Amino acid sequence: MNYIEKNKEYIELAKSRIKQLYNEKPKLFIETAGCQQNEADSEKLTGMALDLGYILTDEKEDADLILINTCAVREHAELKALSHAGRLKHLKEIKPSLIIGICGCMVQQEHRKEDIKHKYPYVDFLFGTNMIFDFPRLLYKVLTEKKRHFFVESYEENHGEMVEDVPVFRKSTKTAWVSVMYGCNNFCTYCVVPYVRGRERSREMTCILSEVKGLIEDGCRDITLLGQNVNSYGKDLENSPTFVDLLREIDKIDGDFVIRFMTSHPKDATKELVDFIAESKHMAPHFHLPVQSGSNRILKAMNRHYTREAYLELCGYIKKVHPDISLTTDIIVGFPGETEEDFQETLSVLEEVRFDSVFSFNYSLRKGTKAASMDCQIDEETKKERMGRLLTLQQRISAENNAKLVGRTVSVTVEGDSKADPNVWAGRTEQGKIIHFPKNGIPLEGGQHVFVEIERAESYTIYGKLK
């Protein structure tokens, strides 16, 4: 369904209500936690709010509407969102007209919805991940009815309708997230995503292609396709196009751009996909393939549906087809029942594959998931100690991998000033590595494409000079 069609009644109503309430354009402050999918949702929420008459502010204190888009993947992210919400109480006291909304994965969980309802009475409204496209209606209700609203429906009640042509506000004109599908069917036992984002729904290929073409025509040169498991793309569509079919069509578009994707589940990543990356014109030489654990016993308990051997075979194939590709992964440390032997098997996967980087997380118990009720939860001290060893090992491997790049000239997308030194540019290589190089008075701008010769390398950053 089209955005205007879906919201035609409420877009005009919300716009005129906003004009009635405010003498000048009201200000929106939006804060986003979590993954790229949440970032992409916030870009849509911001786009819709600007379309309704808001302007953006970076200062909470100036805002007329504050939205907190939350994550539920780890407890830490939820506690952080609740603590941010707690700090808004005094703003509401100073400015009673301020409207506060909390959305995203955290509030899609019944117990968190109840928490906010009862412990945060100054929060005006909540809305779940499956109601984002209803934003004009939800906002209109909040602006007209003098009561709190809890717009959270389960995915059984609301099937997570997909809406096209939604206004999107992108911070950068050079890089973009494009969702290709929503939801997940995999039910990994530690993960709350299938409960808070519902079952897999793929966007029509024609809609994705038209969005990508529009971005490229507008000068975008780095596009990341998003989905919880992009390899499942198309299974629910007529004629069941595959993810590789989608990539092939995108690759035919003319222009100077690179395509990335995330996330790919190892059980569904095919050799056809690996081969296509090698033959394509536009695919970035980067493959993020979350292994989570190197132990078959733990992989089974996680319901991951692949073995350590199958994973290593796939990585071997990727490296054979693309010797220069950057392989990265996710690891969960301290899954229930993880023994020292299991953990050693995870470390040995790091040694064997030699990933460029690893996103590692201590297991976080998520209410309602199968792993939450498993025996043998690992204590925090053990998780911390194992995490320390994993990070030390990966630091060495990343440094060794990066050292091999010294002397090469690589293609880089400029991101902006280095945080550490305003006289230095920070950029990203096509493999996704962070690179710093001196400005030397040369004017560049974010998103610009340059070549940099690598002179020095550390575990997380490489350094070079403009060619």
Identify whether the C-beta of residue 394 lies closer than 8 Å to the C-beta of residue 358. yes
Q: Does 49 bind ligand SF4 (CB under 6 A)?
A: no
Pick the piece of the chain touching ligand SF4 (CB under 6 A) from 23-31, 187-195, 237-245, 415-423.
Answer: 187-195
Q: Does 447 bind ligand SF4 (CB under 6 A)?
A: no
Q: Does 274 bind ligand SF4 (CB under 6 A)?
A: no
- Compute the least distance from the CB of residue 68 to ligand SF4, in Å: 22
Q: What are phi and psi of 86, to 5 degrees?
A: -60, -40
Q: Does 194 bind ligand SF4 (CB under 6 A)?
A: yes
Which of 181/258 has CB closer to ligand SF4? 181
Which of 202/228 has CB closer to ligand SF4? 228
- Compute the least distance from the CB of residue 8 to ligand SF4, in Å: 34
Q: Does 294 bind ligand SF4 (CB under 6 A)?
A: no
* Maximal C-alpha separation, the chain: 66
- Inter-helix orientation angle 243-251/271-279, to 10°: 10
All residues at 6 or more sequence positions from 297 whose CB lies less than 8 Å from its CB, including other chains: 337, 342
Kindly tell me which residue out of 7, 37, 179, 186 binds ligand SF4, with binding defined by CB under 6 A: 186
All residues at 6 or more sequence positions from 363 whose CB lies less than 8 Å from its CB, including other chains: 190, 332, 333, 334, 335, 336, 338, 371, 378, 383
- Compute the least distance from the CB of residue 267 to ligand SF4, in Å: 9
Q: Does 369 bind ligand SF4 (CB under 6 A)?
A: no
Q: Does 77 bind ligand SF4 (CB under 6 A)?
A: no
Residue 331, token pair as written in the block: 């690891």
Q: Does 366 bind ligand SF4 (CB under 6 A)?
A: no
Q: What span, in angstroms and rounded, lies between the C-alpha atoms of 209 and 215? A: 10
Integer CA distances (angstroms), 274 to 89, 230, 365, in order: 51, 14, 34
Which of 42/228 has CB closer to ligand SF4? 228
Pick the piece of the chain touching ligand SF4 (CB under 6 A) from 133-141, 191-199, 270-278, 318-326.
Answer: 191-199
Classify 120 as helix, strand or coil: coil
Kindly tell me which residue out of 108, 109, 229, 326 binds ligand SF4, with binding defined by CB under 6 A: 229
Question: How long, in residues, is the chain?
Answer: 467
Q: Does 298 bind ligand SF4 (CB under 6 A)?
A: no
Q: What is the CA radius of gyration of the chain?
A: 23
Integer CA distances (angstroms), 415 to 56, 175, 288, 447, in order: 22, 10, 21, 6
Identify whether the C-beta of residue 44 lies closer than 8 Å to the C-beta of residue 162. no
Q: What span, in angstroms and rounded, lies between the C-alpha atoms of 415 and 434? A: 9
Pick the piece of the chain touching ligand SF4 (CB under 6 A) from 42-50, 186-194, 240-248, 449-457.
Answer: 186-194
Q: Does 295 bind ligand SF4 (CB under 6 A)?
A: no
- Of residues 246-265, which lie at the interface with ligand SF4 (CB under 6 A)? 265
Total of chain residues touching ligand SF4, rule CB under 6 A:
10
- Compute the least distance from the CB of residue 266 to ligand SF4, in Å: 10
H or E stretch covering 310: helix 308-321
Q: Does 227 bind ligand SF4 (CB under 6 A)?
A: no
Kindly tell me which residue out of 77, 131, 138, 188 binds ligand SF4, with binding defined by CB under 6 A: 188
Binding site for ligand SF4 (CB under 6 A): 184, 186-188, 191, 193-194, 228-229, 265
